[in-house]
Amino acid sequence: MPVPALEVLSMPWAPHPEVWVLLGGLVALATYAVRVIGPKVVPAGEPVVTGRQKRWFVAGLVTLWVASDWPVHDIAEGRFYSVHMVQHTLLTLAAAPMFLLATPPWLARLVVGDGWFAGRALRFLCRPVVAGPIFNFVVIFLHWQNTVNASVANPALHYGLHVLAVAAALLMWTAVCGPLPELRMSIPGQMVYLFLMSIVPTVPAAWLTFADGVVYRAYAGLGVDAVQDQQIAGLVMKLGAGFYLWGIIIFLFFRWANRHMAVEKAGRTLTEREVLTWESVEAELAAAPPAPREHI
């Protein structure tokens, strides 16, 4: 018999200090970077961090907090696997790109550095042909029966798997919205890339949606219809995440089309790479002479 919604929402409050420490640490590191390091490396007259980056950082913190703290975490771990799926979706498809969009390029270059590991190895892992398979492997691994059953019984493992998921998502999203322009793909490439990212998750989603019995024994016997719960989880993964990625693809298409129109109106001819980097477009438009007025 399904558990009434009121019972789920009235779950007793449980502290999650590991989440608070993580959020506090992110705020402290960001504050130190912006107030202490930024003024030393950013040229005079240029902003250390933009208002847009600040807003993305706050949005990432809120998303991370909602997905990781009470009550979402408690419901996901002890009641509904469908909420567990929502939790993973928020962490990998929302929080990860938000933090990338919040990162100034100067800070990203300091973090990556020029060393062998941080420089070459990290850049290699961020390549779409590497990051894409890594992300999809992690997605499949997180939905493996043994992984799910073990994570529900072991909070430390559950936390570690979330770290793994976010790390893989950061690698995957770098090609789309990373702070370093040289690691981003062209917008048509981003659209194809995100389309491919929307295909592989449909495999475990279909498995959950059309399974006849209970897939994860850890969620059986919790007073809910486990089969119905996992079917909802499959729909969240297939439709929710799929529509989300497709929405981004549509947004990128119109963004790409608008940039081409802006360049054509300015009477400029740019390479595809230049057109698809908005900073380059703005620089070209600023350097272009004003268009002559037509006399009637």
Give 281: exposed, middle or buried? Use CB within 10 Å, 0-12, 13-18, 19+.
buried
Helix (H, G, I), strand (E, B) or coil at 233: helix
| Amino acid occupying residue 169 | A
Nearest-CA neighbor of 234 among 265, 268, 256, 211?
211
- Judge whether residue 293 has pLDDT over 50: no
User: Contact 236/82 with Cβ under 8 angstroms?
Assistant: yes
Residue 99, in any domain of the structure:
yes
Please list, in sequence order, all residues whose beta carbon lies within 8 angstroms of the beta carbon of residue 53, skipping any fewer than 6 positions away: 101, 102, 103, 104
For 9-57, write each residue's pLDDT tens digit: 556 888 889 999 999 999 999 999 999 999 999 998 899 999 999 999 9
For residues 293 and 178, what is the distance between their CA atoms, to the nearest angstrom?
40
294 part of a folded domain: no
Q: Which domain holds residue 128?
A: 12-287
What's the pLDDT score for residue 67?
Answer: 94
> How crowded is residue 149: how many other Cβ atoms within 10 Å of its Cβ?
15
4 assigned to some structural domain? no
- Is 102 among the domain residues? yes
Taking each helix axis from N to C end, the angle separating 155-177 and 187-197, rounded to the nearest 10 degrees, works out to 150
CA-CA-CA-CA dihedral for 197, 200, 206, 209, to nearest 10: -50
Residues 6 or more apart in contact with residue 76 via CB below 8 angstroms: 83, 84, 86, 87
Residue 2 maps to a domain: no
- Rounded distance between C-alpha atoms, residue 109 and residue 122, angstroms: 11
Residues 55-103 pLDDT 10s: 999 999 999 999 999 999 888 887 888 898 999 999 999 999 999 999 9
How many domains would you assign to the chain? Answer: 1
First to last CA, the chain: 77
Give residue 269's pLDDT: 54
**Residue 8's pLDDT is what?**
52
Smallest Cα–Cα separation from 172: which of 208, 129, 212, 215? 129
Query: Is 3 within a domain?
Result: no
Nearest CA to 71 among 14, 125, 29, 142?
A: 14
pLDDT per position as a tens digit, 113-147: 766 666 788 889 999 999 999 999 999 999 888 99
Which has more pLDDT, 202 or 232?
232
Q: Provide the pLDDT for residue 118.
A: 64
183/276 Cα distance (integer angstroms): 13
Which phi-psi region, left, alpha or beta, contains residue 257 (left: φ > 0; alpha: ψ -120 to 50)? Answer: alpha
Residue 215 CA to its chain's centroid (Å): 27
As to burial, measured by CB atoms within 10 angstroms (0-12 exposed, 13-18 middle, 19+ buried), residue 97 is buried
Residue bearing tokens 């894409």: 132
In a domain, 76, yes or no: yes
Alpha-carbon distance of 203 to 52, in angstroms, equals 36
In a domain, 191, yes or no: yes
> Is the confidence at residue 291, as pLDDT, over 60?
no
Measured in residues, the chain has a length of 296
